Chain A
Amino acid sequence: QGQLVESGGGLVKPGGSLRLSCAASGFIFSDYSMHWIRQAPGKGLEWISYISMTGSYTIYVDSVKGRFTVSRDNAKNSVYLEMNSLRAEDTAVYYCAREVSKNSGLDNWGQGTLVTISS
């Protein structure tokens, strides 16, 4: 089934930057598109980003477009989320998730990493 492990979260001042990583194991990473989803404290789930299997195609939700960049390194079985110009409203637990197929959605999620934006 595989495992996803996020890292890189922490406390950052508004306007700062952070890079999240998601390490995959137990499956052929390059066979899967990957997504990032976040959850503000006590709130619901918000999808924020997609990256294709090869990394050649990315999509973002409007609220992070131009500030966040998703990338992947299939040789390292990892996907990344570079976050710049961070705002208080970016405070959330960030999850990476695997897309099984276009018909089946997100079947495998990491445990999440907390990002806190505060002065």
Chain B
Amino acid sequence: DIQMTQSPSTLSASVGDRVTVTCRASQSLGGRLAWFQQKPGEAPKLLIYRASDLESGVPSRFSGSGSGTEFTLTIGSLQPDDFATYYCQQYYSYPWTFGQGTKVEIK
């Protein structure tokens, strides 16, 4: 199975900050990496697919980058609605696996 490791586990930031979350895979993913946002009591929401493609309707302050085994989610200017938990997920091979999540908290 492909192991996905996110860092940090928790991130404290202020509105307007630039925020970066990192995801490392135990093997190359061929670009098949997605990022999700989840708020308490809600289903995950797709933000980024194919490592860097922005899902329709997602604000442009969200961006993804990376290849191979190293990937990054960046929020260009953190907004109040962005305080949530973020997960990376590989869909390169089964079983699909998720990172453990990064909780973005208010500083």
Contact = CB atoms under 8 A, between A and B. Distances in A.
B89 interface: yes
Interface footprint category on B: 20 to 34
9 contacts: A35-B96, A45-B89, A95-B44, A102-B32, A104-B50, A105-B46, A106-B89, A109-B44, A110-B43
A105 to B, nearest CB: 4
Contact of A107 (B49, B97, B100): B49
Interface of B: 32, 34, 36, 38, 42-46, 49-50, 53, 55, 87, 89, 91, 94-101
Contacts of A27: none
A107 B58 CA distance: 12
B100 A44 contact: yes
Interface of A: 35, 44-47, 50, 59-62, 95, 100, 102-107, 109-112
